[in-house]
């Protein structure tokens, strides 16, 4: 069974840092690209970052570029998101999502998310 479990969320002050983790199991992690998607309270979904299966290709949303860093450790079946210079508007539930191509690119499995609250 495919499982994605996020951790590392919490309360942090503006300007602070946080590192999120996503533990993957039930599939060959190093064969899949991964994404981070977030959802502010009561709002819709916002894609924020992508990393290819081997880690060589990375993309970021403009809203987090220069502040967030995505990475992965295929030996540990883990995905990470280092978040620096956090802002109040970064408050959201952060999801990791597996990516697969089935005719088109699809996020076929998602974690249940970890809540990040940025507040003074």
Partner 1 sequence: DIQMTQSPSSLSASVGDRVTITCRASQSISSSLNWYQQKPGKALKVLMYAASSLQSGVPSRFSGSGSGTDFTLTISCLQPEDFATYYCQQTYSTPPTFGGGTKVEIK
What is the distance between the terminal CA atoms of the chain, rounded to a whole angstrom? 40
Q: Which of 104, 99, 38 is nearest to 72 (CA)?
A: 99
Instruction: By CB under 8 A, tell whether 115 contacts partner 1.
Output: no
Instruction: By CB under 8 A, tell whether 44 contacts partner 1.
Output: yes
Residue 7 CB, nearest distance to partner 1 (Å)?
A: 15
Q: CB count, 10 Å around CB of 6?
A: 22
Residue 14 CB, nearest distance to partner 1 (Å)?
A: 25
Q: Are 95 and 9 in contact (CB under 8 A)?
A: no
Instruction: By CB under 8 A, tell whether 108 contacts partner 1.
Output: yes
Among the listed ranges 14-22, 40-48, 66-74, 77-85, the one in contact with partner 1 (CB under 8 A) is 40-48
**Binding-site string for partner 1 from residue 73 to residue 102, where x marks contact by CB under 8 A and - marks none:** ----------------------x-x----x
Residue where the block lists tokens 């987090």: 64
Residue where the block lists tokens 């039930």: 26
């Amino acid at each position: 069974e495919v499982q994605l479990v996020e951790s590392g969320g919490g309360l942090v002050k503006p300007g602070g840092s946080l590192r999120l983790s996503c533990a993957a199991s039930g599939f060959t992690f190093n064969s899949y690209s991964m994404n981070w998607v977030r959802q502010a309270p009561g709002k819709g979904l916002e894609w924020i970052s992508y990393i290819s299966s081997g880690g060589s290709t990375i993309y970021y949303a403009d809203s987090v570029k220069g502040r967030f860093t995505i990475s992965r450790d295929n030996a540990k079946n883990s995905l990470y998101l280092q978040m620096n210079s956090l802002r109040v508007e970064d408050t959201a539930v952060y999801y990791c999502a597996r990516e697969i191509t089935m005719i088109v690119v699809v996020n076929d499995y998602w974690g249940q998310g970890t809540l990040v609250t940025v507040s003074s």
